[in-house]
Amino acid sequence: MAVQFKKALITGGAGFIGSHIAETLVAEGCEVHVLDNLSSGHRENLAPVQDRVRFFEGDIRDPDALREAVQGCEVIFHEAALVSVPLSVKEPVSSAEINEMGTLQVLEAARKYGVRRVVLASSSAIYGDDPEMPKREEMPPRPLSPYAVQKLTGEFYARLYHELYGLETVCLRYFNVYGPRQDPSSPYSGVISIFMTLAAEKRPPSIYGDGEQSRDFVFVKDVVQANILAADTPGAGGERLNVGTGRSVTVNQLWGAVCRMTGLELSPNYEPPRAGDIRESLADIDRARNLLGFDPAFSFEEGLEKTLAWYTQQS
C-alpha cells in the first residue's frame, strides 16, 4: 500500500491500532514520529520498528510535546484516547480532558505547524442504540455514554477546523477493532482480546447480558488500510466515514468460534448488562468504499485465526 506522504505523526502510536499504523508506514518508507504517554500503550508494541521510528514520550494535552513531535509532519494519525466506554461512565471528567481537550490540542498543533491532513479515530459508539441497521454516516447521533459524546465532540471540532482554517480532517468511525497486540489486561478491553486470553488459559469468559448483542468486528490491518487511504485520498477532507466490514457477529457466536478454533468446550458465565453498552452494531461502509476505495481484506474467521495465533504465542 504505497503512501504519498513522507513524514507522519501518530498520536497514541505505542497503542494497539497506532503501532500497526506505524509498522505499515515504516514498511512503505515513511518517516514516522510517535507521541505516546504510555498510560495504555507499550513500547514493546513498537519493537518491530523501534529503530526506524522517532519516539516522543508525552501527552496530547501538552502543547509543547505536540510542537516537538509534529515538526515537519504532513499527516497526523490521531489515535491517542481513553477508549473505554465503561471507564468514561465511571470517570466522565477525566476522560473528557483526554478525548475532547486532547483532540482540540492535536488539531490546533496541526493548524499552527502546517500539517496537511489529520485522520482522527472516532467511534461507532456515537450512533447509540438507534434500532436502524446498518449504521449510516448521515444518521443522527444518539450517544449513550460520555465516551460517545467525547468522540462526537472531536468530530465537530474536526469539521470546524476544516471549514474555518482549511485543515483537511477525516474522521473514521471505527466499529469493533480487533487483532494482535490488543491489551487484554483491563476489564474494559475489547471482547476479542479478553476471549483470546481466556481461551489460551482454558478459562470461561464472563458475558455481560445474554450474549445476543451483536458487533461488526473489523481486523486491525483493515483499519490500517482505511487510515492510509484517508490520509492520501484527494477530496476526503471534511468527511466522516464508517470503518467496519458490513457484517455482524453476536458475542455468543464469537465465543463459539473461539471454542471451535481452540478445541475447548467451556460455557460462559453471564453477568448483568453494563451501563452504556449498545445492543446492536453494524456498519454501512459504502461511503468509505466509494470515496476511499476501502475494501476489507480479512474475513472474520481469518482475522480471528491470526489473532488467536498471536495470543497463543503470548501465553
Instruction: Reply yes or no: is the peptide bond before residue 180 cis, omega within 30 of 0.
Output: no
Residue from 147, 157, 174, 311 carrying the catalytic annotation: 147
H-helix segments, the chain:
16-27, 63-70, 85-90, 92-96, 102-112, 146-165, 191-200, 220-232, 251-262, 286-292, 300-314
Residue 141 per-residue DSSP state: P
3 state DSSP class of 129? coil
Q: Give 174-185 as a DSSP string.
A: E-EEE-TT---S
147 catalytic per annotation: yes
Q: 243 phi and psi, to 5 degrees?
A: -125, 100
Residue at grid coordinates 505523526: 9
Angle made by CA atoms 188, 122, 144, in degrees to the nearest 5: 60
Strand 214-215 to strand 249-250: parallel, antiparallel, or no bridges (unpaired)? Answer: antiparallel
Compute CA distances 58 → 74, 121, 249, 256, 272, whole Å.
20, 19, 37, 41, 38
Catalytic residues: 147
